[in-house]
Structure 1
Amino acid sequence: MSTTHEELPVGVPGGIPVSTLRDLIDRHLHMPFPFRRNPHESVAAAGVDAWLRTWGLTDEPGVAAMISRTRPAELASCTSPAVDSGLLQIVANQIAYQFVFDDRAEEIGRNSPGGLLPMLCEGIAILRDGRPPRTLLGAALADLHRQVRERCTPAQAARWAWQSREYVHGLLYEAVAQSQPYLLRTRDCTAIRSLTAGVEPFYPLYEAAQPREPAPAELHHPVVRRLSRLSADAAVWTADLFSAVKEQQAGEMINLALAHQREHQCSLQAAVLLAIQEINATIEEFQKLHAEIEPDLSPAGAGYVQGMIGWIQGCYQWSRTVPRYADVTTVPAVP
């Protein structure tokens, strides 16, 4: 592992100055997809608040304030601009649930990875075996699973449950990594991040958004599967750029920019530029593969891939302004 790294020049083509770390990200990140928002966002925001209250989650300490800072309906709107109001509500509820689940897992796992087992095992039992919940958080998950089954085909709901279980398992990997004395290599961090991102569980919902179900040959085509992986990585790594300041202050490790900073022993600004290079290459590969396969996709398959594109541009749009990551504007562009 490299222990030193020559600082990358901080600036932009043409010498246009940038003042904050957010400006630096905006100048260098390649984002070719247009920004869109769902017209049903305000309805989804009210629905999320009501759903969280129904299951008693906003009665728990800190949850209401966290939801206010993260704006799950806004993220749903940015990532899912074309879905109908009913499906947008499921997306927004799922995002809110994952924020609550992730923050709680982080709090418990930081002290003891083993302490996560009851929480994670409950989630797996609900998703895999249909067992009744034991906690308020479990009850919310069971209701979310019900919403998905009612909207999706059995095959789509099964894919949703499988991807959601992958996300649950990823949180245990993250807790173990956080508790270890050694520093994770960047490739190990990205492997864990691909699980904890929680992006791919949403993709079966974009299957359900199509007038006709995409053919299995399209869903399982190697290029489409690669597009799924690339889009999830690009989306969550982009969020990592804006959350790096917050997560550095909290001592978190599973963040692409912070992984580059540890591995290369460089400034946060230089690490962000390294992460951006990786993200840009990922987006460019996505564009190339998408252009190759798009002529062969059915309308349903094309719509499904558009759902992946929504997460790439939506995470960027949301991350730039969400209060949860506001600290990115307090760090100068030049170290």
Structure 2
Amino acid sequence: MELIDAHLYMPFPFRRHPHEAAAAAGVDHWLSMTGLGDEPGVAAMISRTRPAELASYNSPDVDPGILHLVALQIAYQFVFDDRAEEVGRHRPGQLLPMLCESIAILRDGAPAGTPLGAALSDLYRQVRERCTPAQAERWAWKSREYVHGLLYEAVAQTHPSPLRPGLCTSIRSLTAGVEPFHPLYEAAQPCELTPEELQHPLMGRLSRLSADAAVWIPDLFSTVKEQRAGEMINLALAYQRAHECSLPTAVTLAIRQINRTIREFEKLYEEIRPELSPSGVGYVEGMAGWIRGCYYWSRTVPRYADAGTAPAV
């Protein structure tokens, strides 16, 4: 923990949403209503991961309705990701029904046949009610990319050779699950972004930088847990394998990559900001919020409580 705090570049100050407690209650109610809360291990996992807290830190300025949606989506993705990881590590082929159900719901509006599918269907319904049709379609498209990424992760977990950092980061980008939240930040603005803003080359790069930095930061705090579990898709562990170095050295190398990513985000945001509408600025601020939020959430969340116990080798 001290190594991370001492060297990670974090220009965005800590903030939280005033309606965090209400969002947490809403997550508990939604999980119970959809039946996900009754699934084995889900209640304990939610207690360890605190999705409403992460939503609060990421999204301190959005209206309570958007905060509620962000918190529900984080909770859903935590459940979905843990389930996919559990199944995919041992039986990748058995992931297919779960992933195909999600794609059918997101692409075709197909009916759900499982509690996970029912939760996704309800989440998609709420997104369509709050977002414009174009924003909801962008949300569904980014969510489908996330679902497909979990199959890449399952293949990587069972691959006989250790992954190099480049391939690891490519898969981590797909499984990050951060970019599906960006359309919700557009929906939080007074107006839709113009096509020129959405299609601006720098906007696409900002989206990627935000997602990468946001997901790599928790990698630093989860390194010990994932090393013990034999996980492959972790930025610091990829550096350790590539350089055959100690874990603190690998974490330091990962921090340097994250710092470069955050500084590039700052630089490009400064370049594009004069060209953006107020809604465009708010949209990019939502991206920045994920970088800040994932850092402050990772520091205290019980899921990563052993971050300070990194072994020397």
What TM-score comes out, normalization by structure 2 length?
0.99
Q: How much does 1:57 deviate?
A: 1.0
2:220 paired residue among 241, 252, 255: 241
For residue 59 of structure 2, what is the amino acid of its counterpart?
S
Q: How much does 1:249 deviate?
A: 0.8
Q: Among the aligned pairs, what percent are the same residue? A: 74
State how far apart, in whole Å, the 1-side matches of 2:309 and 2:225 are: 11
> What corresponds to 1:231 in structure 2?
210
For residue 123 of structure 1, what is the amino acid of its counterpart?
S
- After superposition, the C-alpha distances for 1:136-163 in whole angstroms (9 at most, x for unaligned) are 1100000000000000000000000000
Relative contact order higher in (CA < 8 Å, ≥ 6 apart): 1
For residue 110 of structure 2, what is the amino acid of its counterpart?
R
For residue 3 of structure 2, what is the amino acid of its counterpart?
L
Q: How much does 1:212 deviate?
A: 1.1
Q: How does 1:178-327 map to 2 (within 5 A)?
A: 178-327=157-306
- Judge conservation of contact 2:89–2:158 (CA < 8 Å) in 1: yes
For residue 279 of structure 1, what is the amino acid of its counterpart?
I
What TM-score comes out, normalization by structure 1 length?
0.92
SS in 2 for 1:36: coil
State how far apart, in whole Å, the 1-side matches of 2:233 and 2:119 are: 26
Q: How much does 1:56 deviate?
A: 1.1
Q: How much does 1:214 deviate?
A: 1.1
Are positions 1:169 and 2:148 aligned together? yes
State how far apart, in whole Å, the 1-side matches of 2:37 and 2:74 are: 14
Q: How much does 1:245 deviate?
A: 0.7
State how far apart, in whole Å, the 2-side matches of 1:60 and 1:123 are: 18
State how far apart, in whole Å, the 2-side matches of 1:70 and 1:289 are: 32
State how far apart, in whole Å, the 1-side matches of 2:254 and 2:199 are: 29
What are structure 1's unaligned runs of at least 5 residues? 1-21
What are structure 2's unaligned runs of at least 5 residues? none
Moved more, 136-145 or 288-297: 288-297
CA root-mean-square deviation: 0.9
2:104 paired residue among 125, 132, 153: 125
SS in 1 for 2:305: helix
For residue 179 of structure 2, what is the amino acid of its counterpart?
E
Are positions 1:56 and 2:35 aligned together? yes
Q: How much does 1:55 deviate?
A: 1.1
State how far apart, in whole Å, the 2-side matches of 1:85 and 1:301 are: 20
- Judge conservation of contact 2:214–2:294 (CA < 8 Å) in 1: yes
Max Rg structure:
1
> What corresponds to 1:147 in structure 2?
126
- After superposition, the C-alpha distances for 1:164-185 in whole angstroms (9 at most, x for unaligned) are 0000000000000001101111
Q: How much does 1:331 deviate?
A: 3.0
| Deviant stretches of 4+, over 6 Å | none
Q: How much does 1:35 deviate?
A: 1.3
